[in-house]
């Protein structure tokens, strides 16, 4: 059995679920699943990151047409991303009631970093490649990978917003985040919940972009990854913040680009509860950094 058939999380054997055709060049990607930890992943994932995470990707004409980070950083007063940014800040305030230093890991062009800074929060981003250069051109503080070692134990809160599904080896990334957090610091992650799609994973929207979406998590899977990386996984008990995050996701799915008063008058708490009941968006755990 070759290494591609061994689960990257728990090292147990995996089974082939099927294949998906990529968006960029119609290559076939193999989707595997581990029954032990319920981690699913793309076996033959792309490694030519400079070709997939390029200007076209961040402008919405690449592997995932649902993202347009360039538009968002250039139109921060209008973009629907403000709904998500507001929700993440709400969760920062709830999980870090005394404030602290915030790192957005995999920040793209840095929209949430600038949003947090404008709210008076000490925030910094981390990103590489084309997106980081664009963000810095808008004066967003974004760290290079070569700088991360200088920030060990520096942050009280790390967010990783729709990041882990892009990373083939999640434990490596989580260990890096743990190193950057103070003991007791908070790791907040958003990534799709694979649990509602357990019997039809290949029909899930997250698996429709296998060029860039390569890792898929149920809450127990993510909790296991966090534990292995030095975190105490915790479940959020309320929808605080998630109503606004879901509001953004609904608008994004409907291909709405800008905020509007018509959107804002809708009963989003009720809509958020209904969407969360179906897709379990809020059920992914957050982590508390514990002593090694």
Distance in angstroms (rounded) separating the CA atoms of residues 215 and 202: 13
Average pLDDT, the chain: 96
Confidence band of 291 (pLDDT split at 50, 70, 90) = confident
Question: Per-residue pLDDT for 292 more than 90?
Answer: no
**Read out DSSP for the chain?**
--GGGB-TTT--B-EEEEEEE-SSS--EEEEEE-TTT--EEETT----HHHHSSHHHHTTSSS-TT--HHHHHH-TTTBTHHHHHHHHHHHHHHH-TT--EEEEET-TT-HHHHHHHHTT-EEEEE--SHHHHHHHHTT--EE-GGGGGGGTT-EEEEEEET-GGG-S-HHHHHHHHHHHEEEEEEEEEE--B-GGGTT-GGGSGGGG-TTT--EEB-HHHHHHHHHHTTEEEE---S-TTHHHHHHHHHHHHTT--B--HHHHTS-HHHHHHHHHHHH-GGGS-EEEE---
As beta bridge partners, residue 126 has 105, 143
Closest by CA position to 216, among listed 232, 200, 233: 200
Question: Per-residue pLDDT for 1 more than 80?
Answer: no
Question: Per-residue pLDDT for 208 more than 50?
Answer: yes
Contact (CB, 8 A) for 10 and 224: yes
Instruction: Give the pLDDT of residue 80.
Output: 98
Question: Per-residue pLDDT for 68 more than 50?
Answer: yes
Question: Per-residue pLDDT for 2 more than 60?
Answer: no
Right CATH number for 48-289 from 3.30.420.40, 3.20.20.60, 3.20.20.140, 3.40.50.150?
Answer: 3.40.50.150
User: Could you report the per-residue pLDDT of 106-138, keeping only the tens digit for each?
Assistant: 999 999 999 999 999 999 999 999 999 999 999
Instruction: Give the pLDDT of residue 188.
Output: 98
User: Could you report the per-residue pLDDT of 173-199, keeping only the tens digit for each?
Assistant: 999 999 999 999 999 999 999 999 999
User: Could you report the per-residue pLDDT of 4-19, keeping only the tens digit for each?
Assistant: 589 999 999 999 999 9
Mean pLDDT of 277-291: 96
Distance in angstroms (rounded) separating the CA atoms of residues 88 and 97: 14
CA distances to 82, 215, 282 from 252, rounded to whole Å, are 12, 21, 17
Confidence band of 209 (pLDDT split at 50, 70, 90) = very high
């Amino acid at each position: 059995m070759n290494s591609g058939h061994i689960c990257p999380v728990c090292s147990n054997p995996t089974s082939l679920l099927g294949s998906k055709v990529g968006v960029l060049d119609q290559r076939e990607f193999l989707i595997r699943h581990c029954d032990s930890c319920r981690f699913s992943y793309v076996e033959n994932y792309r490694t030519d990151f400079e070709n997939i995470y390029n200007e076209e990707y961040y402008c919405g004409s690449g592997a995932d047409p649902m993202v347009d980070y360039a538009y968002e950083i250039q139109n921060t007063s209008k973009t629907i991303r403000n709904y998500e940014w507001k929700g993440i800040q709400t969760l920062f305030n709830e999980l870090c009631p005394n404030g602290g230093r915030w790192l957005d890991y995999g920040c793209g062009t840095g929209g949430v970093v600038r949003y947090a800074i404008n709210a008076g929060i000490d925030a910094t981003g981390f990103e590489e490649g084309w997106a980081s250069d664009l963000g810095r051109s808008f004066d967003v503080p974004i760290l290079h990978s070569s700088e991360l070692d200088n920030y060990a134990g520096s942050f009280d809160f790390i967010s990783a917003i729709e990041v882990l599904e892009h990373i083939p080896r999640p434990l490596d990334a989580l260990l890096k985040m743990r190193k950057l957090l103070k003991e007791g610091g908070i790791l907040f992650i958003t990534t799709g919940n694979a649990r509602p799609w357990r019997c039809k994973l290949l029909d899930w929207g997250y698996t429709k972009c296998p060029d860039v979406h390569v890792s898929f998590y149920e809450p127990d899977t993510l909790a296991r990854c966090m534990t292995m990386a030095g975190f105490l996984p915790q479940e959020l008990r309320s929808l605080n913040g998630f109503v606004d995050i879901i509001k953004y996701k609904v608008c994004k799915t409907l291909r709405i680009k800008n905020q509007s008063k018509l959107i804002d008058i809708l009963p989003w708490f009720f809509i958020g509860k209904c969407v969360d009941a179906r897709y379990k968006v809020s059920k992914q755990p957050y982590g508390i950094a514990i002593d090694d």
